[in-house]
Structure 1
Amino acid sequence: MNVEIRSDREEDKEKALNTKAFSDSSAAELPADSAASADESACPAIVELPCVHCGLPTRVRADADPQRIFCCNGCHGAYDLINGWGLSDFYALRDQMTSAAAQGVPGQRSRYDVFDQPEFLGDSAPKPQSGGLLSTDLALHGLHCGACAWLIENAAARIDGWQLARVKMSDHTIRIVFDPQRVPLSEIARTMDRLGYQVAPLTKQLDDHFARENRRLLIQIAIAGFCAANAMWIAIGLYAGEASGVAADHRMFLRTIGTGLGLLAVAVPGRTFFRGALASLQTRTPHMDLPVALGLSVGSVAGLINAITGRGDVYFDSLAVLVFFLLIGRWIQFRQQHRAARSVDLLLRITPRHASRILDDGETQAVLADNLQAGDRIRVAAGESFPADGEIIAGETTIDRSLLTGESQPIRAAVGETVLAGTVNVTRSIDVCVEASGDASRIGRVMQAVEAAAARKTPIVQLADRIGGIFVIVVTTLALVAFALSARDNWQQGAANATALLIVACPCALALATPLAIAVSLGRAARRKILIRDGSSLQQLAGTGTIWFDKTGTLTEGRSRVVEVIGDRDGLASAAAIERDVCHPIADAILAAADLPDDFEGVAAAGEDNSTAGTDSSDEATARTQIAIGGVLGEHRGAAIAAGSLKFIQSQGIEIPAKLSQAAERLTAQGTTAIVVARDAIAITVLGIDDPLRAGADVAIAELKRAGWRVGILSGDHPGVVRSVADRVGVPQSLAIGGLSPENKLDIVSHHSPADPGSAELHLPEPAPGLQVMIGDGANDAAALAAADVGIAVRGGAEVSLQAAPIFIASGRLGSVVELVRGARRTARLIHITFAVSLGYNVIAVGLAMAGRISPLVAAVLMPLSSVSVLSLTLASRSFRERDEPERTK
């Protein structure tokens, strides 16, 4: 079933261009008889050709230059801008992908056939509706605005059997109601894909649990708030009546209404605390819900008796307020826990759920990726992620490996090379023989390590929890003592003293202090572009320990450039010629340098220069062969060219003059990558390629060391390069470790050295005591970010790393790490101050209650003061200041 949908923009363009084309044609203005006699060459015909930039059909004169056809001024401007920036390769790559799509990928239509399998859809499996219809909710990708939703919903009316489409912009989901007898769900999914929107099954278990629990807590807060507000107004009327006089029947009416509201707050939203107290008693574990429940019980009983007898005070206004504030604190904590759980859930969804398995007859069949076995052959189309580790058996493509390595540029891959699950096939469809899938794949093992590290990581216990058990025992014991001391003379006075003590000492402020202080700090940090997922990380960063930096893209910019050319400068042009189609940062650096003028001051030339043709890199190489590791072979101007690392050139049996060999070793010792270029089996040039340090890296590290932190570098780069970077930023050589795998990094930040470092060149430190903090920007660091006590992801890293780390610095500035540490310490001080105020208040109030100096009424008035003081102190704090930059060294 094919559905052709044309946008209003395309129609408007065509109308405008039709008008322009015919107005520009003199033949169109001539009468029919004159046009027939006009010279054909002077009045060329109008033809339809594609726009050079966007590809839309455009009506132009037949003699128009096919390389300068534009459907509108916007495309014309974009084309000139792209070529002006030297990015014309964009069109070549686009044409390759368009050609592959036009030829069609065998089995491509089966991509969505899996949507007809209920076991694949899981939580999104269609549910029966009346009239034989089915309904399903799917995740919707590619949604941008209300116009997108309108297009999808109106497209449903054009498909026979698609009864309803309802798009939710808030969470990017779509509800589809369809008749399975007339149209399968897979056909609907294909139609939406043609519209430019991809659908996927929902994983709703975690979100549904959160929605239900969040709704329940909000309802409880709403009920408690309603009861508290009205009970307080009634209490104000009663207090005023005590001073000015009130009729007995009015007094009884207000007391009855206030009692009803208080009982409602205690019995409905307050039952959460009674459940916690019951669990505390059953497990014999002191919990802060115990004194809360005890105070609510005693206060409710005493207040109810006083309300019935018409004597004494009722405390239901204070009880309702207590329930309201405690529920708010619990809701804040619940949302923080959900954010952490959802991040882990998203982390585990990085590989596709289905794959296209190749059958014996060459056709493909959609299967669950978890069902793939070693030896299966699968087909992966351009733009899809690899569902399993394997070896390419047919085709050639480029692969985006940033998910695993953090590399910003795709690399070329051909038959015989290994591909990894979770990486992305960029350009062409290829066939792969599966070697490992699921948990056995490399990304599966990394995810297992992430999950295990997250499970092992015991969260910092809030200060309230650390003293909660003692507080519960002390308050409960003191309440019993107060009752016993007074009950000998007057049991009612003993009950009043105990009730006053439990009410005034109820840990409302203790429960609010930490989540409120952290919530305020998180909000202020977010305004500074520091996004913190887990509040406990702030408390941990208030201490000291070791901060480990990844090198590439964290301490450096991740942007390679040629900084030195040694030997025959014509080698640069030769290297650029054979590297032209290689997708790699080093190839990009060589191509960029080859396009620069010879006297460009950013590239230093050294040694002899025999170049007669400058650095013209426009010559195309022939017979180029991609080598898996180390370099590239090809031909340029009739000569055999090789370009790669010193080790690669040596492995090819190429002669390297002593001068160039020494230059390559010198560059490596300086921390610069050395690329050797050879012509006809003789090395002629050495290129020095450097990755610049981020601005302020040395200043930020100096500030961290001044604050008491040990600072080190963990990198997979060459140890010599890592040591050179360490010298430049002020990191001790003993803490600058290169040549590490992701597993090595995980072991180091997990407080022990790698059991199998895998390289004799590794110089590993002794296990360091104290807090371990990992800062990285690539998914290669995902396991280490999760295993560290605190993981910090910076701009440029893969999404998986951002999900593994509890802190994300959106600005990417290393100075923000210093801001983060300072803000964490201010937050810790704020928590200590609020706890001191709260505990001081409780000590004084409890002493007065035990002495009988505070009545339950006064206790009810004093109780909110502790919460108000905590709130005031928190809001007045400045944990993350607007201007908090490290001082720059002169």
Structure 2
Amino acid sequence: MLTDPTTPSQGDVLTADVARAPGNGVVNENTPENSLPCSHCGLPSAVTSQDTDAPVFCCSGCQGAYELIDGWGLADFYALRDQLDVEGQTSISGGRRDYSAFDSNLFLGPSTPVTMSDGLQRTRLSLHALHCGACAWLIENAASRTDGWLVSRVSLVDHTINIVFDPSKIKLSEIARLLDKLGYEPAPQTTNSDDAFVRQNRKLLMQIAVAGFCAANAMWIGIALYAGEFSGVAASHWNYLRLIGTGLGIVSVVGPGRTFFRGALASIRTRTPHMDLPVAAGLSVGTIAGTINAVTGRGSVYFDSLAVLVFLLLLGRWIQFRQQHRAARSVDLLLRITPRHAKRLGTDGECDLVLVDSLQVGDVVEVSAGEGIPVDGTITNGQTTVDRSLLTGESEPIMLGQGEKVVAGSVNLTRLIQISVDAIGQQTRIGRLMKTVETAAATKTPIGQLADRIGGVFVVVVTILALVTLLAWWQNGWAIAAEHATSLLIVACPCALALATPLAIAVAIGRSAHRKILVRDGSSMQRLSGSGTVWFDKTGTLTEGRPRVVEMLGDTEAIGLAAAIEAHCCHPVADCIITEAHRLRLDIPADAFLEGVGSGGITGRSGGRSIAVGTLNFLRKQSVSICDEFSQAAENFSLRGHSPVTIAVDGRACTMIGIVDPIRRGAAESIGNLRKSGWRIGILSGDNRQVVQQVAQKVGIDQDVARGELSPEDKLEIVRRTGADAGSVVMIGDGANDAAALAAADVGIAVRGGAEISLQAAPIYLASTKLVTLAELFDAARSTKYLIYTTFAVSLSYNLVAVSLAMAGQISPLLAAVLMPISSVSVLALTLGWPIYRGSQP
């Protein structure tokens, strides 16, 4: 089955499993700052120095992947990856995921293998963690070294892999497991609009390729003919070149250029001005006149102008199409936050892994600890702690039991539960919130409206002026009238108008990326150029999203006992306590076990003693003795913005710790800069009001606009209400609970560390940990707006002068062909030389 590569001996490598748990890719707080990078993924390891050249690893998953790659003789992958200067790390799961479901067609859905005539099977899977060509090289070479895996084609455009395999020699689950060992997580494809995008994108690229080929060759022929006007050329060669060039022009017009004729016909039928109308008119007149002149051997031919015109217009259309797709992808957010598969409980008590879309109301699904909840429903069996922070913004997990409601997008933290399905997909709470994203994506932006208005006026004016020119010169003969009208249609090039906005946005996006500001929808840059209101989420936005212990009262040894039972849980408070126990170098008993999970805490036994950890209310329900000192301390902790957690040993409260989510570095400075630019600042959070007020005070936000304990619907309503009378509204968030508010705001900005749903909903993403880059972004937005208006002015000024000369008969078709690209070239040069960011090089 799978080829077994030679495995290096254990003594040849240095590993540090304590640095990272396999699969999660998170560096431990105790990782030394001067640690050596992992030889596979590049993350820091716990190794600080070594005397040999042996590879270093941060976990056993990376070690296994390295040994697999090296054993196959594919170690060149690392050199190739380094040459490509890929940022980011290779995710490793250590091969611990269960891929047996990949042999089930019910699980695969659209990725179900198709059996070909020779008995081989073909399928297409999504592939996560692809970074560059080195990744594709590694995977495709791995296929050639695996018996039964015949073909592997990786697409970096849509992160998919096409696989052809022999089912008699290897199972698809084994290929999936092998991909996982290499660090690439396979998944069945989703049934969304990506396939349509890929087809349309491929079609446009093919049209651009054909138009580019014709334009390039037509220009070379044109250069030869223009040079012949001065140096002389044989008549036979002159006629031959004119016919060949005309042929290229005709191919460009009737091939990729026919899309403009379709648009022009639609414009005539609907009586709506469209930029395709003068383009189609110019192409028609130029093609007919040029063909007649080429055949008769008299007059000018316009093949080079026609081919270049088609190429540039298609290029601008492709750029616009890509931007529209980025905005439209936000309607698929639901698939990126909720699981696509669920374990459905059958009548025989056995679980089948099925697509969530196939579930029916009333079905019972089983969700294990650590898994996402795929549906809205009611718990029918079990009790567990649920993390709802992605939906509600609550920083603390809550305890839910039989008969209580759960929602899709939450995470089951501690115990297995069974859920009766109430709603799936778009009918869930998060699904209803995501519908607002689609509405926002469909709204025409101000810059788009401006471009449409200018384009509509341009179309009407150019068409009328071409007719006026034709009629005005008709008395001098139809040939002269047609020549001047053709000159006008050629020289009045709409390329610059079509390219001005997408080109400026593309340059702004590129310059922003260099500063670790990723802009998905460049039109949102215009909305940041004015003034208005900026709403910040708290958790993970103004704060780091990683709670930690900041103060303590009582016996420190109890923290070690608590850490032992917290190790059986999976939530932020448990991580805090465990991290603090390691920091204090406390003994953590190995014989601990969890007894119960309640609303606000847990109980268990550790080191032979009874342990309870949680809020004071939880401990009182456990009949724990609590002295007045701890009651007063809990109140003081809360006043300082710290969440109090108490540890009781053998029925007596003996330790209290204060947990806080640290303020992001540069948050106060960033807010100060925004204030100076005229923006009003506020906080919208689902967290405790007292905690929100404390954070607002620290970062310089007025108390009356620091709002806590808000639901996603509350945030959405506040954003909408603000937008009615406060200019531009900006929402800066980190978490799926902000997705609807991010979409409803004029501009949504997701920060680093945010949930994937927020990144998809927000058109702008801060990859930098420094919030001070926000002020730079707002300044760049103003600069981009000025650039767009300037390019419009340059293009329209050029057309005004050129059209006037053409109507006066001062521009021949030959000169029009030479002048035609000037507008586009001017816009291109102006855009590339414009300083989007202060102090940056163009």
Do Structure 1 and Structure 2 share a fold, with TM-score over 0.5? yes
Q: 1:550 aligns with which of 537, 545, 548?
A: 537
Structure 1 residues 241 and 150, CA gap change in structure 2 (3 angstroms):
closer
Match of 1:471 among 434, 458, 461: 458
Q: 1:81 to 1:294 in 2, by over 3 A?
A: closer
Secondary structure of residue in 2 paired with 1:175: strand
* Offset of residue 629 of structure 1: 3.2
1:300 lines up with 2:317 in the alignment: no
Give 3-state SS (helix, strand or coil) of 1:563's partner: strand
Residue in structure 2 matched with residue 217 of structure 1 by the alignment: 204
In the alignment, structure 1 residue 8 sits paired with structure 2 residue 18: no
Secondary structure of 2:208's aligned partner: helix
Question: Which one has the largest radius of gyration?
Answer: 1
Cα deviation, residue 687, structure 1: 3.7
The amino acid of 1:845's aligned partner reads: A
Is contact 2:334-2:431 (8 Å) kept? no
Alignment partner, residue 39 of structure 1? none
1:193-227 alpha-carbon deviations (Å, 9 max, x no partner)? 48856654323763443333233322322332233
Instruction: Give deviations 1:268-300, integer Å, cap 9, x for gaps.
Output: 222121111111111111111111112222233
Inter-partner Cα distance in structure 2 for 1:643 and 1:80: 32
Pairwise CA distance, 1:322: 1.5
Cross-structure match for 1:129: 116
Partner of 1:704: 674
1:223-622 to structure 2, matched below 5 A, reads 223-342=210-329, 344-345=331-332, 347-380=334-367, 385-390=372-377, 403-404=390-391, 420-423=407-410, 431-455=418-442, 460-461=447-448, 463-565=450-552, 579=566, 581-593=568-580, 618=588
Higher deviation after alignment, 318-327 or 217-226: 217-226
1:804 aligns with 2:761: yes
Conservation of the 8 A alpha-carbon contact between 2:534 and 2:730: yes
Alpha carbons 2:563, 2:578 under 8 Å: kept: yes
Q: Report the alpha carbon displacement of residue 588 of structure 1 after superposing the two structures with TM.
A: 3.5
1:176 aligns to what SS in structure 2? strand
2:801 is the counterpart of 1:844: yes
The aligned counterpart of 1:114 is: 104
CA distance in 2, matches of 1:262, 1:499: 15
Measured at CA, do residues 166 and 429 of structure 1 come closer, stay the same or move farther in structure 2, by a change above 3 Å? farther
> Please, what is the CA RMSD of the aligned residues?
4.3
Pick the aligned partner of 2:163 from 157, 171, 175: 175
User: Displacement, 1:571?
Assistant: 7.3
* Other structure's SS at 1:237 match: helix
Pairing 1:158-197 to 2, within 5 Å after superposition:
164-168=150-154, 170=156, 171-178=159-166, 188-189=172-173, 192-193=176-177, 196=180
The 1:690–1:15 alpha-carbon spacing in structure 2 relative to 1, beyond 3 Å, is: closer
Q: Does 1:630 align with 2:600?
A: yes
Unpaired segments of 5 or more residues in structure 2? 22-37, 50-58, 61-95
In structure 1, C-alpha distance between the alignment counterparts of 2:414 and 2:3, rounded to whole Å: 26
Give per-residue Cα distances to partners, 1:402-457, cap 9 Å, x unaligned. Answer: 65467999999887776543455678765444444333434433434434443457
Gaps (5+ residues) in structure 1? 18-50, 56-72, 85-89, 92-103, 158-162, 598-614, 753-764, 885-890
Corresponding residue for residue 717 of structure 1: 687
Distance 1:479 1:53, change over 3 A: closer
- CA distance in 2 between partners of 1:333 and 1:742 (Å): 32
1:60-104 deviation digits (Å, cap 9, x = unpaired): xxxxxxxxxxxxx999xx9994999xxxxx99xxxxxxxxxxxx9
Q: Is the 8 A contact 1:781 1:801 kept in 2?
A: yes
**Distance change >3 Å, CA 511–CA 109, structure 1 → 2:** closer
Name the stretch that deviates more: 725-734 or 446-455.
446-455
Native 8 Å contact 1:463 1:514 kept in 2: no
**Aligned-pair CA distance for 1:247:** 4.5
Go from structure 1 to structure 2 and tell me whether the alpha carbon gap of 1:798 and 1:256 turns closer, same or farther (over 3 Å shift): same
Over 3 Å counting, the alpha-carbon distance change for 1:394 and 1:524 in structure 2 is: same
Structure 1 equivalent of residue 727 of structure 2:
770
Say which SS state the counterpart of residue 749 (structure 2) adopts: strand
Equivalence for 1:36: none
Query: Higher mean Cα deviation, 267-276 or 655-664?
Result: 655-664
Q: Secondary structure at the match of 2:686?
A: coil
Preserved contact between residue 547 and residue 773 of structure 1 (Cα < 8 Å)? yes
Distance 1:627 1:177, change over 3 A: closer
Structure 2: which amino acid aligns with 1:13? S
Query: Residue 449 of structure 1 contacts residue 783 of structure 1 at CA under 8 Å; is this kept in 2?
Result: yes
Indicate how the Cα distance of structure 1 residues 778 and 683 shifts in structure 2: closer, same or farther if over 3 A, else same: same
Name the CA distance, whole Å, in 2 between partners of 1:458 and 1:515: 13
Code of the residue aligned with 1:746 in structure 2: it is L
Which is worse superposed, 535-544 or 310-319? 310-319
1:411/1:53 CA distance change after superposition, 3 Å: farther
Contact 1:354 1:368 in 2 (8 A): yes
Counterpart CA distance in 2 for 1:152 and 1:220 is 33
- Partner-residue secondary structure (3-state), 1:130: coil
User: What is the distance in 2 between the residues matched to 1:860 and 1:883?
Assistant: 36
Matched, 1:672 2:642: yes
Shift of 1:874: 1.1
2:529/2:782 contact within 8 Å kept: yes
- Corresponding residue of 1:734: 704
Q: CA deviation at 1:676?
A: 5.0
Please report how far the alpha carbon of residue 468 of structure 1 lies from its aligned counterpart in structure 2 after TM superposition: 0.7
Aligned residues: 767
Q: What is the one-letter code of the residue matched to 1:173?
A: I
1:822-872 CA deviation, whole Å, 9 max, x = no partner?
222111111111111111111122222223333333222222111111111
* Equivalent position to 1:782, from 723, 728, 739: 739
TM-score normalized by the length of structure 1: 0.75
Residue aligned with 1:173, SS: strand
Q: Does 1:832 align with 2:789?
A: yes
Moved more, 310-319 or 565-574: 565-574
| Partner AA of 1:176 in structure 2 | V
- Which stretch of structure 1 is more off in the superposition, 467-476 or 416-425? 416-425
Spell out, residue by residue over 1:345-399, the C-alpha distance to the aligned partner (whole angstroms, 9 max, x if none). 3652543444332233332334442333444333345675443344566678777
- Distance between the aligned counterparts of 1:542 and 1:647, measured in 2? 49
TM-score (norm 2): 0.79
Contact 1:127 1:134 in 2 (8 A): yes
Whether the aligned pair in 1 keeps the contact of 2:18 and 2:46 (CA below 8 Å) is no
Contact kept, 8 Å, 1:135 with 1:178, in 2: the verdict is no
Aligned residue identity for 2:644: A
Query: Matched residues, percent identical?
Result: 55
Q: Is this contact kept in 2: 1:422–1:443, CA < 8 A?
A: yes
TM-superposition CA deviations, 1:312-331 (whole Å, max 9, x none): 32222222222221111112
Amino acid at match of 1:820: L
Match of 2:663 in 1: 693
Distance across 1 between alignment mates of 2:487 and 2:759:
49
For the 8 Å contact 1:643–1:678, the answer to whether it is kept is yes
Partner of residue 32, structure 2: none
Residue 776 of structure 1 contacts residue 792 of structure 1 at CA under 8 Å; is this kept in 2?
yes
Q: 1:738 to 1:403 in 2, by over 3 A?
A: closer
